[in-house]
Amino acid sequence: MRLRHSVVLAGWAALAAPLAAQSPAPLRLSFADAIQRAANAPVVGIAGLRVDQASANVREARSALLPSLKVAGLYVRRSYNPESFGFTIPSIPSGTVIGPFNNYDGRISGTQTLFDLSSISRVKAAQAAVRGSGADQSLVLESATQSAALAYLRAARASASIAARQADSGIAAELVKLAEEQRAAGVSAAIDVTRARTQLAVAQGQLVLARNESDRARLDLARILGLDPAQPLEVTDTLTSALARANVPTDVDAAVTAATATRPDLVAELAHGETARRTSTAFSNERLPRLDLTGDIGMNGPTVPNSLGTGQIAVQVTIPILDGLRREARISEQHAIAEESDLRARDLRNQIGAEVRGAFLDAQSAQAQQSIAAERLRLAEDELAQARQRFRAGVAGNIEVITAQSSLVQARDADIDARYSAAAARVALAGAVGVARTLH
């Protein structure tokens, strides 16, 4: 039987060796690495492309003020009846068709805008849109950074839960051994062994759940960072008080002032309002005269060798008069957009102040809860140690030990949750101030 078991184990080892060699090595990821990778996440790249689109719109708007040049060639073979134009030639009989004849024309023509205030305003509106797109990109980056930070914290909490459940299983196994020794010595009942084994089974089941939660947390982290889900991850940082710190002012009022000055969502909203106002100004300036310089030069004749040089130069003034009130409708639309943006900006300032102050309160509360949870964990460990001594001395049953063990499990969970909540509160505070990119 032992030989058969040895052969089976050797076969499993031979099969497992190639599989282990094929599995990729885990990617060791620190909190700082996750923040850095978040800056290169797909959503941030998409936002950057939108900035490029807005920059291209500036060049497109500016092209209306720059010279335009084109080359054209024309060949015509035609015939016509003078009477079709409403006049007759006495020397030409009625109904005579003149032609056909050839005409060749090659020409270079150009246009330069000398004055167009509407186009100038459109360029300024496009530049404001670029600033808005840049702020939108910063907002996406802030959001991606916060998502990556929280995902990393969840993965770190899951790793801490695995360590806690392993410790619980170790204690439960020791208690099973102690109960069996007490029963063998005749100082404990069989039910004490059963209770201890039940606690061991519970601890092992919770360890399985903790490992599954850890795997899911790593999958979420890989998805947020744009990594291959098949790539194993290993988080290297733990839930310490030094994790998830950022460049946040320690004074609440200073933090509110900094947030209202730099929060990308507020900057983006202000830029959107400015874009609408400049666009409205561009529509209004369409009422003003426009001055253009046009000219062309080329060759014209019945054949290419016999063509003669011709050309013209002109200054054109265009004064819009009426466009069916379309211009006024567009101006009213942009005014409404600008007023809506102003209302959003005022409300957003109040929201930023409330979020920053609330984040400070949450951070302070989480720090206090973390201290309480640490003290509770210390007391639970002492309680379990004392209960084990009493059970070993035979002055108490293991029900007291199991109760102390359950208290320790709850205390460990409370400590992990408190440390996670404190780190998450620091991330939320950095996001409220608008400096999530400085998390480390």
* 78: nearest Cα among 92, 98, 94: 98
CA angle at 409 for the pair 408 and 412, rounded to the nearest 5°: 85
Identify whether the C-beta of residue 298 lies closer than 8 Å to the C-beta of residue 106.
yes
Dihedral of alpha carbons 418, 436, 213, 177, sign: negative
Task: State the pLDDT at residue 81.
Answer: 82
* 439: nearest Cα among 161, 147, 135: 147
Q: Which two tokens stand for residue 396?
A: 């108490």
Task: State the pLDDT at residue 61.
Answer: 92
Task: State the pLDDT at residue 14.
Answer: 47
- Ranges of residues in the chain with a pLDDT under 70 are 1-23, 187-188, 395-397
Task: State the pLDDT at residue 405.
Answer: 84
Q: What is the pTM of this model?
A: 0.79
pLDDT tens profile 111-125:
999 999 999 999 999
What domains are defined for the chain? 26-76+116-288+327-438 (1.20.1600.10)
**DSSP code for 63:** G
**DSSP code for 237:** -
Residues written for the chain: 440
Identify whether the C-beta of residue 292 lies closer than 8 Å to the C-beta of residue 114.
yes
Return the SS3 of 260: helix
Task: State the pLDDT at residue 4.
Answer: 44
Task: State the pLDDT at residue 22.
Answer: 55
Q: Which two tokens stand for residue 73?
A: 């060639």
CA angle at 17 for the pair 12 and 22, rounded to the nearest 5°: 130
Query: What pairs with residue 68 in β-bridges?
Result: 111
Q: Which residue pairs from 178-184 have beta carbons closer than 8 angstroms and sit at least 24 positions apart in sequence?
A: 178/388, 178/391, 178/392, 178/398, 179/398, 182/391, 182/392, 182/394, 182/398
Q: How far is CA 180 from CA 168, 194, 323, 396, 399, in A?
A: 18, 10, 97, 15, 14
Strands 27-29 and 233-235: parallel
Angle between helices 264-285 and 326-393 (to 10 degrees): 170
